[in-house]
Amino acid sequence: MGYLHYIIDRILHHDKWVIGLIKLDPAQLEQGVLPPPVQWIVPRFGQFIADPFLFTHNDTDYLLYELFTYATGYGKNAIAELVKDESGQYRLDNEQFIIDEPFHQSYPFVFSFKNDIYCLPEQAESNSLRLYRATDFPSTWVLDAILIDNFPVVDPTLFRHNDRWWLFATRGNGQQDSHLYAWYSENLHGPWQPHAKNPIKIGLGKVRPAGPVYTVEDELYRPVQGLLRRYGDAGLLLEKILELSPSTFCEETVANIKPFSEYPQGLHHICMGKNLAAVDGNRFAGPLEVVIKRLGILRKKMHRW
């Protein structure tokens, strides 16, 4: 009966992710509560927006995110200026798609290094991990390198630790919610070496990255997607990384942050900025949007055939 209930749920219900902005000091997150108020940015009909990343360039604040269109069954990555009005409310201006590729994209992990701006999006359908560099930010990007090939990388999360670059991700094709993999390199462009114990952690709903790793008082914290029946429905787990080297890895759960009451079906991402955090929340789409999404998924499958 449990499996039948799961199948029915997947047919009748579809995600309607939205993005929320919260005034938050990173040190507060270990308390396990995201303090109100949350300003929600609701997408247009027939779309959802998720996986928000905050970025500042030339004194302008930006938000990068996945924009999923039900009618096509595909997600694309978008960027918009994050503008604060006189009342203190944020809005998205000058929205545009970035990094045009013929496969689903999400999780636009953005960062700067040596005066260049890079994006490391999820493109698991390409069976690789591709690094893009902005030549005219924010509109123009070029493929800069393929960091990992022949591996369907899901939610790639990059950070520096002990003079090395580290990359955490899960694997598509059935392991995206259960197996955590790691790679390391002396240089951003590689060569990238797999961790000696890959997959470094196995556990359904306890491994998948949920936004950038961040530091509080020299301690590394890793947000993780919680999962019961669908990703994010158990909220966020906050993992404190206790040990990380090319041959060792250990972390412990220090907080479990539940979904918001107004978006109770999911919370699966957080990006920490300067006293501002971007999150996402989920509640089920309306009946008409469900129909549109089912048709979009069918069209996508027929196109592959």
Phi then psi dihedrals of residue 73, to 5 deg: 75, 10
Return the closest-CA partner of residue 111 out of 213, 209, 183: 213
Asked if residue 263 lies in contact with residue 257, where contact means CB atoms within 8 angstroms, the answer is: no
Phi then psi dihedrals of residue 275, to 5 deg: 60, 20
Cis-peptide into 156, omega within 30 deg: no
pLDDT tens series, the chain, 305 aa: 454 444 445 555 678 999 999 999 998 999 998 988 999 999 988 889 999 999 999 999 999 999 999 888 889 999 999 999 988 899 999 999 999 999 899 999 999 999 999 999 999 999 999 999 999 999 999 999 999 999 999 999 999 999 999 999 999 999 999 999 999 999 999 999 999 999 999 999 999 999 999 999 999 999 999 998 888 899 999 999 999 999 999 999 999 999 999 999 999 999 999 889 999 999 987 677 767 766 666 666 666 55
pTM, 2 dp: 0.92
Q: How far apart are the C-alpha atoms of 155 and 159, rounded to whole Å?
A: 13
Asked if residue 184 lies in contact with residue 166, where contact means CB atoms within 8 angstroms, the answer is: yes
Asked if residue 23 lies in contact with residue 38, where contact means CB atoms within 8 angstroms, the answer is: no
C-alpha pair distances (Å), 249 with each of 195, 197, 260: 9, 8, 31
pLDDT score recorded for residue 300: 64
Q: How far apart are the C-alpha atoms of 75 and 43, rounded to whole Å?
A: 13
pLDDT score recorded for residue 1: 40
pLDDT score recorded for residue 8: 44
Residue by residue, DSSP assigns the chain as -HHHHHHHHHHH--EEEEEEEEE--GGGGGGT--PSP-EEEPPPTTEEEEEEEEEEETTEEEEEEEEEETTTTEEEEEEEEEEE-TTS-EEEEEEEEES--SS--EEEEEEEETTEEEEEEE-GGGTEEEEEEEEETTTEEEEEEEEEESS-EEEEEEEEETTEEEEEEEETTTEEEEEEEEEEESSTT---EE-TTSS-EE-TTSSSB-S--EEETTEEEEEEEEESSSEEEEEEEEEEEEEEETTEEEEEEEEEEPPPTTSBTB---EEE-SSEEEEEEEEEPPHHHHHHHHHHHHHHHHHH-
Superfamily of domain 15-304: Glycosyl hydrolase domain; family 43 (2.115.10.20)
